[in-house]
């Protein structure tokens, strides 16, 4: 009888030890996983910071090189009428391509997600209607282009021939940069034409207002600064003739 009790006791002890070892192994495994993930996150963060530092240095060097090149061009064309004309042509082309900072009169408009729509039960049925989408920005920008806008920016991002405007989750990417609401659109050009292209009856701004998207403006502004495009424009398919 005593042997049987001893065997049962030993069995219970072994069972408890087995459970304890299993729990300990699981704890160690989870701890190792957490540590590994933490180390991976730190390594990734360090890599991102390293590349950002390289980008900042390269961007400063590019800006310095552009100033030096501009100075060389001016010196080379100081007493050459033909070269001066070429220099002016290059300057105009860079302005059209969005590669220089520009200023002038025009209009400003702000589009915002409707954050108060949750109070309206009819709007909460389809909250996507009260959010600014990439197609909304594209439609407004196209209206401005058709009205003769000479320079356009959205939240500081210059719109150039190669600019793409896409949706990524809850944010919009312009020139590869993520931006969110509110969207400040600035355009330089004939104020009356730009303004009229946006407030025309049946125009896209009225469609956005009817959808309860928050629209501020358009406002006529006499002095607008639009920054240059800070990327590189690469044409893959067109060639000069």
User: Picking from 74-78, 135-139, 209-213, which range would have the lowest pLDDT averaged per residue?
Assistant: 74-78
At residue 139, does pLDDT exceed 70?
yes
Is there a single domain that holds both residue 142 and residue 218?
A: yes
The mean pLDDT value of the chain amounts to 78
Closest CA to 200 of 140, 115, 125, 119: 140
Tokens representing 201 are: 């009856």
User: How far from 219 is each of 96, 109, 179, 191, 215, CA to CA, in Å?
Assistant: 24, 6, 22, 9, 11
Any domain includes 163: yes
Instruction: Indicate the number of domains in the chain.
Output: 2
Q: Residue 182 and residue 174: Cα distance in Å, rounded?
A: 14
Q: Residue 163 and residue 176: Cα distance in Å, rounded?
A: 9
pTM over 0.75: no
Residue 193, pLDDT score: 94
- Say if residues 159 and 153 touch (Cβ distance below 8 Å): yes
Residue 73, pLDDT score: 65
Work out the number of other CB atoms within 10 angstroms of the CB of residue 135.
11
Give the domain range for residue 182: 102-226
Is there a single domain that holds both residue 215 and residue 107?
A: yes
Is there a single domain that holds both residue 119 and residue 61?
A: no
Any domain includes 56: yes
Any domain includes 170: yes
Any domain includes 89: no
């Amino acid at each position: 009888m005593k042997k049987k009790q001893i065997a049962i006791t030993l069995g219970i002890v072994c069972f408890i030890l087995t459970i304890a070892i299993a729990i300990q192994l699981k704890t160690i495994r989870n701890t190792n996983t957490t540590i590994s993930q933490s180390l991976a996150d730190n390594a990734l963060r360090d890599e991102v910071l390293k590349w950002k530092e390289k980008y900042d240095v390269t961007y400063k060097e590019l800006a310095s090189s552009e100033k030096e090149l501009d100075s060389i061009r001016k010196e080379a064309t100081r007493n050459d009428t033909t070269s001066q004309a070429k220099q002016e042509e290059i300057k105009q082309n860079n302005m059209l391509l969005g590669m220089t900072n520009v200023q002038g009169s025009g209009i400003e408009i702000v589009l915002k997600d409707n954050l108060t729509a949750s109070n309206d039960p009819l709007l909460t049925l389809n909250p996507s209607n009260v959010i600014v989408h990439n197609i909304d920005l594209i439609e407004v920008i196209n209206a401005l282009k058709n009205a003769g806008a000479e320079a356009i920016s959205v939240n500081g991002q210059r719109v150039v021939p190669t600019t793409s405007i896409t949706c990524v989750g809850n944010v919009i990417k312009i020139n590869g940069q993520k931006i969110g609401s509110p969207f400040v659109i600035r355009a330089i050009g004939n104020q009356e034409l730009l303004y009229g292209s946006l407030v025309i009856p049946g125009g896209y701004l009225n469609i956005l207002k009817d959808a309860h998207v928050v629209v501020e403006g358009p406002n006529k502004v006499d002095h607008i600064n639009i920054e240059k495009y800070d990327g590189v424009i690469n044409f893959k398919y067109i060639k000069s003739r």
